[in-house]
Structure 1
Amino acid sequence: MASQEDALLVADGVRKVYRTGDLSVLALDDLDLTVRAGELVAVMGPSGSGKTTLLNCLSGLDEIDGGRVLVNGRDLFEMSDHDRTEHRARSMGFVFQSYNLIPVFTAVENVELPLLLVGVPADEARERSVDMLRRVGLAERERHRPSEMSGGEQQRVTVARALVARPAIVWADEPTGNLDSAMAAQIMDLLRELNAEERQTIVLVTHDPAIGAAAGRLIRMRDGRLVGDETAVSRDTAAAANRP
C-alpha cells in the first residue's frame, strides 16, 4: 500500500452524490486512496459500484461533494475550472473504451493533438507523435484514419495519444472492453510494458478478471467504497499458501 509521503495521487474522504429531483444516490462514500508514481493499478467491482465515478472524480472530470484530491501535491478542486483543465491537459492522459478518436484525422494527427493544444511547436509535436506510434507498434499506420484500422489498432492510437505528453498519470476506463480476448491481452501487455519500462503510472477500470490479475495492484469496490486493496506480491503469497 502507498504512503502519502511518496504519493503521486491522494484521495482523502472523497464523496460524490448524484441527484435527480428528490432522489440522491451516494456514488463515492468518503473514499480514501493513495497511488505512488510508477504503479499500475486496476479497479474492479460489480456494475454500479462506483468504478467509473472514481476515475472521473479523481481525474477532475467530475466535481466532488466532499473531501479532496491531490495530484503531485496540488488539490484539483481548489483550482479554478481553467487551471484544472490546464493541469489535466499537462499532467493526465485518458484511454476510453470507445477510443474517442477524431474520425477525419489520421493516426498521427490524433496523437499530436494534445501536444498542440498545450502549445508544443508543430514540428516537435509531429516528431514526438511519430515516435510514440512507433513505440506502440503502429509505425506503418500513422497516415491511416480510424476507419481504416482495426479496433486493436485504434486503441493503440488512443494509448499513444494518452502517453505522448508524458503525463504524470494515465486513466483508462475499460480500455479493452470493445476488444476480443486476444486483442485485449495485447493492449494489456502494452500497458504493462509501458508501466515497467517508462514507470508510467496507470489507473485502469476493468470488469475483466484477467486484466485485473495482470496489474501490479488490484483495488476492489462495492457501493462506493474500497473493499479490497492487494498487490501482485500479496496475491501470489496468498495463492501459494492455499496450494495443497
Structure 2
Amino acid sequence: METVNTDRALLLATRVSKIYRTGSVEVTALRDLDLLVHRGEMVGVMGPSGSGKTTLLNCLSGLDDIDGGRVEVDGHDLFAMSDAARTEHRAHTMGFVFQAFNLIPVFSAVENVELPLLLVGTRPREARRRALDMLDRVGLGHRVEHRPSEMSGGEQQRVTIARALAGRPAIVWADEPTGNLDSTMAGQVMDLLCELNREGGQTIVLVTHDAGIGARVTRLIRMRDGRLVDDVDQAVTPSAVLPDPPPG
C-alpha cells in the first residue's frame, strides 16, 4: 500500500488474504488486499459474482477469520483480539444491514430495534428511547408497534437500518441491502442511506451488484478475483439513479 494519511482512518486493512478450503481444494477469495476507509465515507463495492465482495465485508468486519494481513477498525486490531473481545467490539462499533431482513417475526418494529441494545447492556428505558428515536428518523414513527408481517419490504429494510444505527456504530456494513426490493423501494432505501451519510456523517460500506446503486455512493471500489482493481471518488447527484417514472 502506498503511503497515505491515516489521521481520519476508521478502517485500515493491510495485505488481507482469505482462503476457503474444502478437503484438498483451496480457493483464494482475497489476495493481499489493502483498503483505507475514512470516517464519514460512503463506499460502494462492486464486482462480478465470485469476485470476493461479500468475503471482503465479512473479513473486514471480523465475521470471518482471515488467513493473513491485518484489519484495524476504530484503532483496534480485530484479529489480535480473542473471539469474545472481537464480538463485543463488533457489537459496540458496527451495524449490519443484509439483503435478508433477519427480523424476529413475533417482535414489533421497536422490539426488533431495541433488542441488540439490550444485549450489550443498555438500560431498557434508554434502549426503548433510542429505538423509537431511530425508527422515527427512518420514517417509521407511525409503525413502531407493527410486526414484520404487517410491513412492506421497504419498511422492513428501514427497520433493519434503524436496528443497525440505534447502537450509534462507527461503521455500517450493508450487503446487497436493496437486493430483495423493487426499484421504488430500493430507491427509497438508498435515499435514506445517502441522507444518513450526507447529513449525519455515518460511515457506510455497501456491497452491491447494481450499477445504479453504485452510482449513488461517494466512492466506488471494484473487485475482481479477490483483488481491488479500481477505486474512484465520484460526484453524486440525487437523481443519479432510479429517476421518477414518466407521468401517465
Task: Flag whether TM exceeds 0.5 (same fold).
Answer: yes
Note the C-alpha offset of 1:114: 1.1
2:156 corresponds to which letter in structure 1? Q
Secondary structure of the residue that 1:4 maps to in structure 2? coil
Cα distance in 1 for residues equivalent to 2:125 and 2:106 = 21
Which aligned pairs between 1:80-91 and structure 2 lie closer than 5 A? 80-91=82-93
Which aligned pairs between 1:66-77 and structure 2 lie closer than 5 A? 66-77=68-79
Cα distance in 2 for residues equivalent to 1:24 and 1:42 = 28
1:114 corresponds to which letter in structure 2? P
Note the C-alpha offset of 1:5: 2.7
Maintained 8 Å contact 1:3/1:34: no
Secondary structure of the residue that 2:40 maps to in structure 1? coil
Which of 45, 48, 51 in structure 1 is aligned with 2:47? 45
Cα distance in 1 for residues equivalent to 2:218 and 2:116 = 28
Q: How big is each residue's C-alpha offset from its partner over 1:124-177, in whole Å with a ceiling of 9 and x where there is no partner?
A: 100110010000000111001111101000000000000001000000000000
- Match for residue 241 of structure 1? none
Cα distance in 1 for residues equivalent to 2:5 and 2:225 = 24
2:57 corresponds to which letter in structure 1? L
- Match for residue 96 of structure 1? 98
- Match for residue 156 of structure 1? 158
Q: How big is each residue's C-alpha offset from its partner over 1:37-82, in whole Å with a ceiling of 9 and x where there is no partner?
A: 0000000000000000000000000000000100111100000111
Which of 205, 208, 216 in structure 1 is aligned with 2:207? 205
Which of 167, 183, 192 in structure 2 is aligned with 1:181? 183
Paired positions, count: 235
Cα distance in 1 for residues equivalent to 2:192 and 2:74 = 25
TM-score by length of 2: 0.93
Q: How big is each residue's C-alpha offset from its partner over 1:9-61, in whole Å with a ceiling of 9 and x where there is no partner?
A: 00000000000001000000000000000000000000000000000000000
Gaps of 5+ in 1: 237-244
The 4+ residue runs of structure 1 with deviation greater than 4 A are none
Matched, 1:166 2:180: no
Query: What percentage of residue pairs aligned between the two structures are identical?
Result: 71
Gaps of 5+ in 2: 238-248
